[in-house]
Structure 1
Amino acid sequence: MPKSSVHQVPVSSLPGSLPSINMPLDTDPKLVASSIPLNLEGLNESNLAQEALWRDSFALTGTLRTLYSPACIIPVWREVCNRRSPTSFELKIQSANIVRIGELASWVDAPFTFKTASTPRTTCSGIFSLVPASSGTWKIWVIRTILEQLDGENDVDKLRACEQPFNRTMSTLNANCTANGEDNPSSFDVVIVGGGQAGLSVAGRMKALDISYVVMEKNQEVGDNWKLRYGSARLHTIRQYSHLPFNRTFPSHYQEWLTKDDLAQGYKDWVKTYNINIWLSTRLLCGKWDHTSRRWTLQVQRDGSHHEISSSYVILAVGAGGQIAVMPDYPDRDHFKGTVLHSAEYTDPSSFKEKNGIVVGTANTAHDVAEDMLVAGLASVTMVQRSPTYVLPYEYYQRVQELLYNENVSTDYADRMSFSNPLSISRLLALTCLHAAAREEPERFDALEASGFKLERYGDITHYIYERMGGHYMDVGASKKIADGLIKIKTDALPVRYTPNGLKFEDGEELPADLIVFATGFERSMTRVVRQFFGEDVAQQVNDFWGVDEEGELIGAFKPNGHPGLWYHGGTLGHARYCSRFIALSIRAMLNESPIPVYGRNGYDDPFNV
């Protein structure tokens, strides 16, 4: 079956706007919520604001969809309601609240719950965001609907901790934390390739739903995907945002900005707590899909030995492009007397003390490496900047994240509020808050520009995360070192070739170097990975991974993607944790032979509905 035609678009092109309303302080949100006489099946265009949006997370469409304007929303709404038969609608009037974005925008959020009566029966939640209309009535500006649970199944958001210690050689474990008795099981419902945040998250969800699974991790220990990185590697997002499912993986004794060692330890503890079935030192070599049995036959290398296993589903959680490094190929490298590394190979610059270092790139990793070189005592550290860089001070982002991700709010609730919104609305909220913070201290950015750094001070963080998958810098201290001249910056010309003692640039300047680190990112094509593992036929059936489509939904990620047995999982730490639940719920429904109907762009006959 050919893949659906999905085109990537700029996030800036997505429809949507914030309501330009500042509601009076005495507005009663409970009274507002009680004024809308609604049931789900009776929703019509008169209930919606002119600029209305609807974001569905598997509740009614069986996938991730965003629809814009009453004229587009209502026909689809009626069709999916007719198919899924929503019932037991309950508006949670006592939980209604006012959301205020400074003095610029405000609205009333009214939560609700409902069930679906058709097979598979489900429990769902949602939020109506309400704004006043000129007629004095209230209209729905945003609808969010979220699949919560499959009725009759375990809770996908809960998993009992196991008393049994983790054993890296143990075979498959069931939800009661007992081994299945096989030393080398060969058949699973699900094989998860990759044991990082995404792979572990979806594994935990599988176990919660009694789905047989195994995680295949190429490294020797849980957490090595972080542990083996360069010495100063750390997260640039807050601790409370960084947990795995089911618990606060990084409690208060962890520092706010988690290091690579913190992450590795947290992952190990979590795997031990929930006795996750993970095969370490294991690589997927290749696989073949059987259309008749609807199962994969997979060739695997485990601890140096060859094994053949089978599964109904494979989830690729290997990072975009399988973490294949991208590195410019300048001439005369063989003439260079020093050391050249990609950041993926870089670990510790201490042996280069009092020597010269160059970092090519100016995103998060490049800044980390440059700071690392400075601390290690290199005589000079120069960053080579190839294009303007969005610099986002960590405290700006911290203030925004801490509104939801904190000790007083459950991670489950924070995720629903963060990831259920239409992307265009989340983007506008981020731009409003982050740009306002940047305008309050222009001198910080003026000093950085004065050093020669090409700065994008009012950047679009949604663009960098959802389109580029990085490329910005979350400033945790390196910007001041650049502004103070401790880290030098080369922005006026690009490298053209190596010399015996460094790099030569277009303007004729030669920078001396003993160590050159290319922080130039990784290949982004997931179809290349699919082709490598499963061949051209399968690669032709699936879309690539990441970037957003015309609806503002991530391409390929977390949802049916053209092949009946293949899923992609990854993204930010929050995506990995939250969206893993939808993959697990969908697969559980399919294993029960009652799949959630998928309403794609061409209705129920969409190629995604496989």
Structure 2
Amino acid sequence: MAIEDAIDTPVKSVLDSLPAALPTTNVPDDVDLAAIAESAVGKLRTLSVEDLTEDAVWRDSFALTGTMRTFYSGRTITANFRRLVESHDARLFRAVQKSCRITRIDENTAWIDVGFLFATESEPQTVCSGVMSLVPGEDSESSWKIWVLRTILEQLTNHGNVDHMELRNMTNGHTNGYHNGDAALKDHHFDAVIVGGGQCGLATGGRLQALGASYVILERNKNVGDAWGKRYESARLHTIREYGHLPFERTFGPEYPEYLSKDDLAKGHREWAEKYGVNIWLSTSLETGSWDEKRQMWTLHARQEEGMITLTAKHVVFCTGSSSQIPLMPQYANRDVYQGEALHSVDYKSADAWKGKAGVVIGSANTGHDVADDMQLAGLSSITMVQRNRTYVLPVEYIEGRYRILYNDKLPTELADRAQQSSPIAIGRLLSAKAFHGMAKKEPERWAALERAGFKVDPFGDISHVLHERLGGHYIDVGTSAKIAKGLIKMKSDASPVSYTKKGLLFTDGTEIEADVIVFTTGFATNLRDEVADILGPEVAAKSERFFGLNPEGEVYGAFKPSGHPGLWYMGGSIGHARYYSRFVALQIKADGLGTPLAVYNETLT
């Protein structure tokens, strides 16, 4: 039986309902790219339905809608785009020189990408960019139509560069390393208080600093970089080094390995914070806070070693991680009778102390594979992975090839981010599926070997669903799948644990697996709104959106944009999310501080 036939329960995603499709067109090699670019950009000021395909998609990232929105169909795009161009007095549309190029996926899927710039004259005045993806019209190849339109807020005119930090102009003035506050028992006011000093907190603080906004990062750990440094010993990125940078520079040079370890990341983050003098208060935890509706101001209370500190701010940005704070651990009967060691991955560091013992890992996503691999390398007598659901496995080499096209030592990281992150999620999903699923179909034995070993594999999963809706549950294969296929790591996927026994776990099929140690790699609570409720109160949380998941337009809930409660922001996701979307959070906070907040467009004309 083919592996495709074994996958009988398709993923249910918001993206399944969106009217997005890849074009079935070809583009001749000898087209006049410059003429096509000038003609297409010239139509933007007075866009008409005839200029777009019927299934066109437009994604705006804060340029015209003041938030992130995706519109579908030529008619809907035209109506909303024209209204927003007029209300923002958008003008000076011009093609980016030498940006026009043919993108060819295969012999039946190709288009022309055209980069452009424009400005808005309404308050706040802005500089924006965009990309049009053009396909030939039905009448002739000389008539080009917009299939995908992207518009992106770049800068607030005359108010700094969110993408560049001048060391000599650092607003916090700490040129000899980051500032760890001597702030106990004093009152402080900032434009923004950032909760969490990991990759999202550092990126957001740096962006605000580049714009001249006052801020402080509250980090509960003792050192910058501990958000990575305190993870289990084998933790590392499964994406290439060039994807791992923080803003403004290439944080990790060629002296670092291609796949950054947790210690590499901790070192790079620490050196970055010192270089740019970010304002971070270490060993500081936000405990409570309240919102003054009349003053439009937060009053926050944080704990330091010296005592409590009070801060006030117009904005609070939660950067505490979307899946690393509150562990989720199944509860089985008879825990008290089990004589071995049971722990969640949040408390796991290394398997070295368990050499010669029997280990069980509950969970089959990235962390579960990492822990099982550690156990095998440490010489445990037996390792069993308990798989609760069929798992999407994506070989790392599939991803590496795609990343290297954009993330390399030649293309500026900021430009690579725009190319990857600004695309409509529904379109990015189709492109990823076309690439990854095509590769997977060429390796049937790879998947058959896993099935024979008892691992229920899905090689045709939905990476967009995993990243934006599920926030995990997949495995990027860096080598452990082969160990499972060879039997070095055993599988239990035909029954679920129901009870501890004296020596291990009892399963629903009546079998028992003995284990000296059980590690639960069962994930974390992923909704930052729950943490907001604990710290700022349920009334604040009730007014804010959930965190992540996709709304009916295929846009992420809650994160990076107005959360629903004044002055409350969420940041989270991958390093790529931290680096790219932090620029928009900083621009929104800066615009508000200038008295000209971005106007959020909530309507949809059809």
How would you bin the TM-score normalised by the shorter chain?
over 0.9
Alpha-carbon spacing, 1:233–1:37, altered in 2? closer, same or farther (3 Å): closer
Deviates more, 1:138-147 or 1:93-102: 93-102
Offset of residue 322 of structure 1: 6.4
The equivalent residue for 2:177 is 166
CA distance in 1, matches of 2:357, 2:318: 41
Alignment check: 8 A CA contact 1:191 1:215 kept: yes
CA distance in 1, matches of 2:346, 2:320: 15
CA distance in 2, matches of 1:221, 1:557: 26
Matches within 5 A, 1:319-468: 319-320=321-322, 323-468=325-470
CA distance in 2, matches of 1:321, 1:470: 9
Alignment check: 8 A CA contact 2:356 2:381 kept: yes
Q: Deviations over 1:313-367 (max 9, x none)?
A: 0000111266200010001111111111100111122111100000000000000
2:178 counterpart of 1:155: no
The equivalent residue for 1:206 is 208
Alpha-carbon spacing, 1:453–1:322, altered in 2? closer, same or farther (3 Å): closer
The equivalent residue for 1:179 is none
SS at match of 1:413: helix
Q: Deviations over 1:557-605 (max 9, x none)?
A: 10012111100011111111100001111110100001111101479xx
Alignment check: 8 A CA contact 1:322 1:529 kept: no
SS at match of 1:341: strand
The one-letter code of the counterpart of 1:119 is E
CA distance in 1, matches of 2:167, 2:97: 35
Alignment check: 8 A CA contact 1:218 1:280 kept: yes
The equivalent residue for 2:144 is 138
Alignment check: 8 A CA contact 1:321 1:523 kept: yes
Alignment check: 8 A CA contact 2:186 2:309 kept: no
The equivalent residue for 2:102 is 98
Offset of residue 165 of structure 1: 2.4
The equivalent residue for 2:32 is 28
SS at match of 1:426: helix
Offset of residue 88 of structure 1: 1.2
The equivalent residue for 1:252 is 254
2:127 counterpart of 1:129: no
The one-letter code of the counterpart of 1:40 is L
The equivalent residue for 2:523 is 521
The equivalent residue for 1:296 is 298
CA distance in 1, matches of 2:178, 2:525: 34
Offset of residue 282 of structure 1: 0.7
2:115 counterpart of 1:111: yes
Offset of residue 185 of structure 1: 5.6
Offset of residue 92 of structure 1: 2.6
SS at match of 1:474: strand
CA distance in 2, matches of 1:224, 1:218: 9
The equivalent residue for 1:175 is none
Offset of residue 304 of structure 1: 4.9
Gapped runs of 5+ residues in structure 2? 1-11, 169-173
Alignment check: 8 A CA contact 1:321 1:529 kept: no
The one-letter code of the counterpart of 1:141 is W
The equivalent residue for 1:42 is 46
Q: Deviations over 1:124-151 (max 9, x none)?
A: 0011111001111111111110000001
SS at match of 1:297: strand
Q: Aligned-residue CA RMSD in angstroms?
A: 1.7
CA distance in 1, matches of 2:391, 2:545: 29
Alignment check: 8 A CA contact 1:201 1:245 kept: yes
Alignment check: 8 A CA contact 1:168 1:280 kept: no
Alpha-carbon spacing, 1:400–1:574, altered in 2? closer, same or farther (3 Å): same
CA distance in 2, matches of 1:303, 1:395: 46
Identity of aligned residues (%): 48
Q: Deviations over 1:192-238 (max 9, x none)?
A: 00111111110000000111100011111111111111111111111
2:502 to 478, 500, 503: 500
2:514 counterpart of 1:512: yes
The one-letter code of the counterpart of 2:167 is A
SS at match of 2:270: helix
Alignment check: 8 A CA contact 1:93 1:110 kept: no
Alignment check: 8 A CA contact 2:325 2:524 kept: yes
CA distance in 2, matches of 1:34, 1:293: 49
The equivalent residue for 1:13 is 17
The equivalent residue for 1:82 is 86
The one-letter code of the counterpart of 1:28 is D
The one-letter code of the counterpart of 2:154 is E
Alpha-carbon spacing, 1:143–1:439, altered in 2? closer, same or farther (3 Å): same
The equivalent residue for 2:66 is 62
Alignment check: 8 A CA contact 1:129 1:142 kept: yes
CA distance in 2, matches of 1:43, 1:164: 49
Number of aligned positions between the proteins: 587
Gapped runs of 5+ residues in structure 1? 1-7, 173-181, 604-610
Q: Deviations over 1:76-97 (max 9, x none)?
A: 1122112110011112353210
Alignment check: 8 A CA contact 2:90 2:118 kept: yes
Offset of residue 34 of structure 1: 3.2
Matches within 5 A, 1:460-479: 460-479=462-481
The one-letter code of the counterpart of 1:110 is V
Alignment check: 8 A CA contact 2:59 2:422 kept: yes
The one-letter code of the counterpart of 2:180 is T
Offset of residue 447 of structure 1: 1.3
Query: What TM-score results when the alignment is normalised by the length of structure 2?
Result: 0.94
